[in-house]
Each structure stands twice: as C-alpha cells, then as structure tokens.
Amino acid sequence: MEPISPLEQALHAARALVLADLVAGEVAEANVVSMVEESVVQRRWWVEQWPEGVEFVAGLLAQDVQDALLERYGRWPLCPVCEAGDPHALDVEPELGPDPHWVCHKAGVKVAAVGALGSAAGGTPSS
Ligand SMILES: [Zn+2]
C-alpha cells in the first residue's frame, strides 16, 4: 500500500470538517456534498502549486463551499449567536491561515472551530 501523502491527509481532514459543519446545518444534501468534492479537487491542484498552503486548506475549503452555497442555496452557516436582527452568515477567520474558525462579525465573537459548528449550534451549553 502506498503511504498517504500529507496533502491527501490534509484534504481528507478538511473535507471531513466541512462536511461535519454541513451536517450540523442540515444542508448536507447530495448536490451539496458534490460541491465539496469539486472544491477538494480544485484545492488539491492549488496545494500542488503551492505546498506551503497545505495548512490553509480547511479554511479555504470552508470558504469555497460557503461561496458555492450562497449562489445555489443561500447564506451558510447562519449565525447561531445573534438572536435578534437579520439572519446573517458567519465568516471564516483567518481567511488564509491555519486553525480556521467561524466568527460573527456582528457580535464580534468566535462561534466555533471549522468542523465544530454542531456543538455550537446544537444547544449544548459550554462550561
Ligand atoms: Zn451574529
């Protein structure tokens, strides 16, 4: 068996994180999952051109999927923090960096790490 390259490991992990957030938002339908797969293919090419970018893949993949969903589905993920006012989407920070988080710029808070939206939105109190 061929060892799995660090690139494939990073892409696999990024894919799993974004899918976890899609499941948490109940938008992980077949066509949405195929959008994630398309983005993984594009980011694989991108990291092959720029190997130093490998640790940014999770944040970039989340933003790719967010953009693709905005065109076809609507804002995602909706902010679970602000109860009043217009529904708005969370943003990924850093846009280009390791350890990406979903943040609400309106409330100025970090909501959850990418991949951990389920625990933020699921009503489990954080201790
Ligand atoms: Zn908010």
User: 7-35, pLDDT tens digit by residue?
Assistant: 999 999 999 999 999 999 888 888 999 99
Are 52 and 97 in contact by the 8 Å Cβ rule? The answer is no
- From edge to edge, which strands make up the β-sheet containing 101-104? 91-93, 101-104, 109-113
Ion ligand 1 residues within 5 Å by Cβ: 79, 81-82, 104, 106-107
Distance from the alpha carbon of residue 107 to the mean position of ligand 1, in angstroms: 5
Question: In this structure, what token pair is assigned to residue 121?
Answer: 């939105």
Indicate the domain borders of the chain: 6-121
Residues 93-127 have pLDDT tens digits of 999 999 999 999 999 999 999 999 998 754 444 44
Query: pTM of the entire structure?
Result: 0.89
Distance from the alpha carbon of residue 110 to the mean position of ligand 1, in angstroms: 10
Residues 49-104 have pLDDT tens digits of 999 999 999 999 999 999 999 988 899 999 999 988 888 999 999 999 999 999 99
Taking only Cα atoms into account, the Rg of the chain, rounded to an integer number of angstroms, comes to 15
Distance from the alpha carbon of residue 105 to the mean position of ligand 1, in angstroms: 7
What SS3 class is residue 109?
Answer: strand
Longest dimension (CA), the chain: 54
